[in-house]
Amino acid sequence: MVRYSSRTRMSLCMGILLVLLFFFMKKEAEAEYMKYKDAKQPLEVRITDLMNRMTLEEKIGQMTQIERKVASKEVMKKYFIGSLLSGGGSAPSANASAETWVNMVNEFQEGALSTRLGIPMIYGIDAVHGHNNVYNATIFPHNIGLGASRDPELVKRIGAATALELRATGIPYTFAPSIAVCRDPRWGRCYESYSEDHNIVQEMTELIPGLQGDVPENYPIDFPYVSTERTKVVGCAKHFVGDGGTVNGIDENNTVINFNGLNSIHMPAYLDSIRKGVSTVMISYSSWNGVKMHANYDLVTGVLKKKLKFKGFVISDWEAIDRITSPPGANYTYSVQVSVNAGIDMIMVPFNYGEFIDDLTLLVKKNIVPMSRINDAVRRILRVKFLMGLFENPLADYSLVNQLGSQEHRELAREAVRKSLVLLKNGKDMNEPLLPLPKRAEKILVAGSHAHNIGYQCGGWTIEWRGGSGNITRGTTILEAVKSTVDPLTEVVYNDSPDSEFVESDNFSYAIVVVGETPYAEYYGDNMYLTLPESGVNTIKNVCGKLKCVVVIISGRPLVIEPYLETMDAVVAAWLPGSEGQGVADVLFGNFGFTGKLPRTWFKSVDQLPMNVGDSHYDPLFPFGHGLTTLPNELKAAL
């Protein structure tokens, strides 16, 4: 028998222990290798590997989007929540800084990353005309104004700027663009539509590569694309489909049209969006021929997913599945069943997530919602998350905070305002135009409720869901812009609602009257009359006719102006120009010329509605495409 010394025995034991330790460490390392965490693995391999590891609970969590108000790190971890959002006006605090937003998003993200598989959540927000929920962001003109610009390249640059401001606050996903084709201005969301003409809407889908980045050459056709550069964000084409064609323009109502009509008017921009790599599509609250879109398998799965080959994820609108029934939520389990089976992948719950998760789990266990449908939804959601690089870079930092409301973006917004203005009338006599206005005058009157009100300029979806009044965010009012543009010796007098006596008592050279609609959003904006508010009518009556006047209309759509048109020397449709009112003064005073064209028909009377270009009863006050032009002062002087 060989005898070993105690020291030798100890050395042998240590050696054996080290071998065993190495063996177990090697096995553990092999076991810990997860293909889905390896960015070098092919996309679909990563998705499949992750899905094979996921429980039903984790998969349904990915399909759940909840409002930040009911979220916490604990909720994210417990329910495996796949997405968060800020609804209109939902912010971490009043006037929150970019840093505050970043900190909030990261805190929620840390909760998601602490789950068993560490799947990052994606945070979404309605940045529909700039990063409009956030104080100090650049607010661009609403889509109707951009449609008047006829400038897709401008819209693409706006998309890129908006993406930077989103990333400045740590948010990688916006529910934009709206590619609705508004066929009736009585609709409260008409300003979210670029035009009544689907061709213009199709052109303006250039916002998508602005947000997400240009699809590379030889990239798979009809496949979602998001640049992994942290200057880009996920976009969302909405609202599929026909939301702009509801009867009488009633929001969330019924679009009555045959499939050929739906396909030729409301569908084309979705084809363009998918070709440009749009990553998500949001479903409309509205119905098509009596069938709720959120329950419409034939259109969501049959057309969008199968015929158009859309491979990103489909998301519901806010509490939209509740509204499948009347009254909303009357049979929530049924609503969950039909919406998920219709092909909706992510549900914007946004509050009662426990009920949604429980109901969907039960429906799957009872084979009422097939597991194949769950897997399709989760695969699509993970596809977008992997494509955008969210697994590699789930947390935001402060490197882009200076992009929020930057001067460069404000200059871009100012350019957009200039290009969106439509000159409807210029002079009672064509040979004596009023515009451009002279900068040097003894005294000018600026009047109207909208002349000195950032909230009114911006309209709905600004800081709050329905917008607001006053200095709700940083910007330049039209009054401030006028004062900074005219000659230093010119006296500018402001009166928001002057009476006739005031107008006649002073020796004004001319007047600028700025009136229009007060802010609204969605169904709050449905309006069967489309008249100017009484205060605006009174201001026009008290000023125009007594002074040479230009009336600047701030609105989300054409309004009834025919009864007052004769008294106005000049009329400008300024739409909802946003935070940079200086763009209005730039054109009024001739630093730039008027170039905008009507993106929709300006009717005489609401009795004519709906009325769109090409209709047999077409008899407009100003036709689609109308827009007088002026030369900039520099060019006029050179001629």
What one-character DSSP code corresponds to residue 267?
S
Question: Residue 526: which of 534, 536, 517 has the closest Cα?
Answer: 517
Residue 58: Cβ within 10 Å count: 19
317 is a catalytic site residue: yes
Contact 616, 594 (CB under 8 A): no
Tokens read off for 52: 């094979």
Tracing tokens 């914007």 back to the chain, one arrives at 348
Distance between CA 474 and CA 60 in Å, rounded? 41
**Number of neighbouring beta carbons within 10 Å of residue 68:** 19
Annotated catalytic residue within 192, 243, 522, 526: 522
CB distance 276 to 215 below 8 Å: yes
Instruction: Specify whether the CB–CB gap between 494 and 443 falls below 8 A.
Output: no
Out of 151, 203, 243, 317, pick the active-site residue.
317
Amino acid sitting at position 467: G
347 close to 378: Cβ distance less than 8 angstroms: no
Catalytic, 522? Answer: yes
| C-alpha dihedral sign at 423, 428, 432, 435 | negative
Tokens of 141: 């003109």
- Check if the beta carbon of residue 577 is closer than 8 Å to that of residue 583: yes
DSSP-derived letter for residue 86 is E
- Which run of H or E residues covers position 494? strand 491-495
How does DSSP classify residue 445? E
Phi, psi (degrees; rounded to nearest 5) at 283: -85, 150
Note whether 257 and 242 are within 8 A (CB): yes
| CA 601 to centroid of chain Cα atoms | 24
Q: Using an 8 Å Cβ cutoff, are 60 and 369 in contact? A: no
Q: Which residues are catalytic?
A: 317, 522
